[in-house]
Amino acid sequence: MRTEAETPAQQLALLKQAADAVEEILLAGTTTASQSTQRSLAAAFEEVSRARFLRLGSTLRIVLEELKRLQTAPERFSGSRLAFFLDRAWLLARTSRRALETDDQALQARLTAGPANCPVNQMNLALLGVMKRHVPGAFSAFEFRLRLIEALEVDGARLEPGTPMLYSLVFPARAGAEVPPEAFLTLQQKQGFRPTDLLQHKQIVLENAALSTAAPWRIALGPESKLNLAAELDDWSAWVDWSPRAWLQKLKAHRPDPLELAVELNDEVLLRDWRLTTPFEISEQPGRGPEQVATLAACGMHWTLRVDAAESHLLQAIETAQAGAEGGPALFAMAHVELGRAVLTPLSLLDARPAYITISEKQIDKAALVKALNKP
């Protein structure tokens, strides 16, 4: 049964509020946008997210992040990125209103959120790599890239061993908190485990979890979910099946969508014979810094390899692996195409077992973490 906040009239009002907030930013300009304008945008973000317009909500969140960068870290601000997400937010809000007004349920499903979740009694997984994103004073996000070890039936579909799975965690980061992002991985979750448990190179057994009913297969945990660790895996490379030819065919078959991001058409790649052809250098691209960029050769082509300049441990791990030359570990990374260039985001180095190079092994100051969490 619908609540009052879920009625079509209420939803139409929320979508109008979101579009009006975006138009207000455009009319005022970023340099003169008032605090009240940004508060209107923040309120719109909270309301549309609560109403389950998740795609619009995530877009408005990025707009707010970009406006915050302009004020606190202008060297990281990108005018083109802000313009893209403002345009995307306005288009999502207006098109969602039209879909509601015309009762176009297929369009509503496409615009509002991802696929539904289906309960799963048990799934056995292996962690191949971790993507980390940290925005100082805003949040720290971790995306665990897993593989299914045993076949699974989900909503009438059979998922074979080796199917990629995603599990994400986002931790709010208070302004001025002087703790590394990895510190949040030591916090115990409601299900009784710590995210660092996932890094133990063992089989991960999830019980009473949920899984999206369409790719990308995203895992969601609830209060009744449980996580246990089983035996360590022997052959990790068996769980990575990537073909450069299949990836190129996927890119050729793709038809662009005005609402999609370049990174949404990504693929997990395994580069066994790779080498750096140019050293890491600070990127001079506006809005991309501070970032280290290098060129990498693999599979008969050149790739752009990006690493956050603050991730010195990640740079060192890649350069050390490169020094090992032939016969060294394979590079497991996420690849996408941006402005005609193949771009890599490293996830791990895969040898006898994965080295989770995105996660720093520096000692965590637990007292500083507690202080940061309790800071008003």
Determine how β-strand 354-355 pairs with β-strand 341-350: antiparallel
For residue range 301-357, list pLDDT tens digits in order: 999 999 988 888 999 999 999 876 567 899 999 999 888 889 999 999 998 899 999
For residue range 167-178, list pLDDT tens digits in order: 999 887 766 667
Could you please report the per-residue DSSP string of 10-49?
A: HHHHHHHHHHHHHHHHHHH-TTT--HHHHHHHHHHHHHHH
Higher pLDDT, 136 or 268: 268
Confidence of residue 276 (pLDDT cuts 50, 70, 90): very high
Asked if pLDDT for residue 2 goes beyond 50, the answer is no
Query: Measuring CA to CA, which residue among 54, 358, 51 is closest to residue 220?
Result: 54
Residues in Cβ contact with 338 at an 8 Å cutoff, skipping those fewer than 6 apart: 262, 263
Look over the chain and give the mean of its residue pLDDT values, rounded to a whole number.
Answer: 85
**Length of the chain, please?**
376
Average pLDDT estimate for 44-63: 83
Q: How many helices (H) and strands (E) does the chain have?
A: 8, 15
Asked if pLDDT for residue 100 goes beyond 80, the answer is yes
Report if pTM > 0.85. Answer: no
Beta-carbon neighbour count of residue 323 at 10 Å? 9
Confidence of residue 291 (pLDDT cuts 50, 70, 90): confident
Distance CA 109, CA 106 (A): 5
Type of residue at 348: S
Domain 238-352 has CATH 2.40.50: yes
For residue range 363-375, list pLDDT tens digits in order: 777 767 776 666 6
Query: Which pLDDT does position 144 carry in this prediction?
Result: 97
Distance CA 245, CA 242 (A): 9
Q: In this predicted structure, which of 23-27, 151-155, 366-370 has the lowest mean pLDDT?
A: 366-370
The architecture CATH gives domain 117-233: Beta Barrel (2.40)
Query: Measuring CA to CA, which residue among 213, 332, 216 is closest to residue 265?
Result: 216
CB 146 within 8 A of CB 126: yes
